[in-house]
């Protein structure tokens, strides 16, 4: 059976889409393809999964329409038996492909899209966009043969499949005495607690001068300037590290070197409140105690 993953806003090697779902399906015998925005346009195969990159993701209506067209065109070429969709846009493509090819469609909800997309707008327009995305998503979901969700909070007559990493990636390390390494895994930004992370470092360093706060991931481009200034102003260069984006296979080892994992999402987006972040399950798989918000 041919399964095609359609994604309009995720990288072809996204942790959930590629490493957990596509590779798992390929491992039990399915013929799996991923169509998603990428930096290269040539198709390639990785870990048994065929990847078809389309034009890179960028904000803007024209660019998004172009990506949707690319998904539709390549998805039709592949003639899959099942189209597995990850956003409202790709779901709309999947429903069209279902009509054209009689394939099955699965909608995989791992974000609260109305709140996430509308957060880019301000004032009354935010509410309009929220309603528009919700109506679009609900209408398109009516055409899906199955809907799955990673969180009970996102569930509305859907099957919940928790977003857990493969345990085989987390081989226990021989660790020395407890240290003072605090880790945040993933992309960190103001709505995900970037300022809280830095302010906490200042307080903890007063009591434990050798503590290290490490981001196993990266910053958004617009945050780099003020973070650099903050680090220099408070003289915490020796206590603050950013690894940059790492290959997925290297992340478990970096987490298992740590002593504490933190989740610092702020309640500024509904998606942050109801979501079940990847890092929670990855910290648990690494055997880390977790510091997380209570809201």
Give per-residue pLDDT as tens, 74-120.
Answer: 999 999 999 999 998 899 999 999 999 999 999 998 888 888 888 88
Report the pLDDT value the prediction gives residue 50, as an integer from 0 to 100: 96
CATH assignment of 167-291, given 3.40.50.2000, 3.40.50.720, 3.60.21.10, 3.40.50.300?
3.40.50.2000
Judge whether residue 184 has pLDDT over 70.
yes
- Answer with the residue of higher pLDDT: 62 or 115: 115
Q: Which of 129-138, 159-168, 200-209 has the lowest mean pLDDT?
A: 159-168
Instruction: Return the sign of the alpha-carbon dihedral for residues 17, 20, 26, 29.
Output: negative
Judge whether residue 68 has pLDDT over 80.
yes
Report the pLDDT value the prediction gives residue 59, as an integer from 0 to 100: 67
Domain with CATH 3.40.50.2000 in the chain: 2-160, 167-291
Judge whether residue 21 has pLDDT over 60.
yes
Q: Which of 125-134, 170-179, 277-286 has the lowest mean pLDDT?
A: 170-179
Percent of the chain with pLDDT over 70: 87
Report the pLDDT value the prediction gives residue 198, as an integer from 0 to 100: 95
Domain covering 2-160, topology: Rossmann fold (3.40.50)
DSSP 280: H
- Answer with the residue of higher pLDDT: 83 or 277: 83
Tokens for 142, please give them: 């009516």
Whole-number mean pLDDT of the chain? Answer: 87
**CA of 185: how far to CAs of 2, 20, 26, 147, 254, in Å?**
33, 17, 27, 28, 9
Buried b (16+ CB within 10 A) or exposed e, 197-230: bbebbeeebeeeeebbbbbbbbbeeebeeebeeb
Report the pLDDT value the prediction gives residue 248, as an integer from 0 to 100: 85
The Cβ-side half-sphere exposure at 195, using a 13 Å CA radius, reads 4
Report the pLDDT value the prediction gives residue 117, as an integer from 0 to 100: 82
Report the pLDDT value the prediction gives residue 42, as an integer from 0 to 100: 86
CB 245 within 8 A of CB 218: yes
- Answer with the residue of higher pLDDT: 228 or 3: 3
Judge whether residue 161 has pLDDT over 70.
no
Report the pLDDT value the prediction gives residue 278, as an integer from 0 to 100: 83
pLDDT tens figures, 119-131: 888 888 988 988 9
Judge whether residue 32 has pLDDT over 60.
yes
User: What ranges in 28-86 are assigned the alpha helix state H?
Assistant: 61-78
How crowded is residue 162: how many other Cβ atoms within 10 Å of its Cβ? 11
CB 219 within 8 A of CB 188: yes
Tokens for 10, please give them: 């995720």
Euclidean distance between CA atoms 277 and 268, whole angstroms: 15
Q: Give mean pLDDT, residues 49-53.
A: 95
The region, left, alpha or beta by phi > 0 then psi within -120 to 50, assigned to residue 69 is alpha
Report the pLDDT value the prediction gives residue 159, as an integer from 0 to 100: 57
pLDDT grade for 60, boundaries at 50, 70 and 90: low
pLDDT grade for 160, boundaries at 50, 70 and 90: low
Report the pLDDT value the prediction gives residue 224, as an integer from 0 to 100: 85
């Amino acid at each position: 059976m041919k399964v095609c993953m359609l994604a309009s806003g995720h990288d072809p090697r996204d942790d959930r889409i590629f490493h957990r779902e596509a590779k798992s399906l390929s491992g039990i015998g399915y013929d799996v393809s991923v169509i998603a925005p990428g930096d290269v346009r040539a198709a390639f195969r990785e870990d048994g999964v065929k990847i078809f990159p389309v034009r890179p993701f960028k904000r803007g209506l024209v660019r998004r329409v172009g990506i949707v067209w690319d998904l539709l065109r390549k998805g039709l070429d592949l003639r899959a038996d099942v189209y597995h969709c990850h956003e409202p846009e790709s779901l709309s493509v999947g429903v069209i492909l279902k009509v054209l090819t009689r394939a099955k469609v699965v909608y995989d909800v791992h974000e609260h899209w109305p709140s996430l997309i509308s957060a880019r707008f301000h004032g009354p327009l935010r509410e309009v966009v929220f309603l528009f995305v919700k109506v679009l998503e609900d209408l398109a979901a009516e055409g899906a043969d199955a809907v799955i969700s990673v969180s009970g909070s996102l569930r509305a007559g859907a099957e919940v499949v928790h977003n857990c990493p493969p345990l085989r990636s987390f081989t226990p390390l021989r660790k020395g005495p407890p240290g003072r390494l605090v880790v945040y895994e993933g992309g960190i930004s103001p709505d995900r607690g970037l300022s809280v992370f830095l302010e906490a470092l200042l307080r903890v360093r007063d009591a434990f001068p050798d503590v290290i706060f490490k981001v196993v991931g990266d910053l958004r481009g617009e945050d780099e300037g003020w973070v650099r200034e903050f680090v220099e102003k408070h003289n915490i260069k020796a206590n603050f590290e950013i690894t940059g984006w790492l290959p997925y296979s290297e992340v478990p080892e970096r987490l298992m070197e740590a002593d504490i994992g933190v989740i610092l999402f702020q309640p500024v987006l509904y998606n942050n409140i109801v979501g079940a972040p990847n890092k929670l399950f990855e910290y648990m798989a690494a055997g880390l105690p977790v510091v997380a918000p209570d809201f």
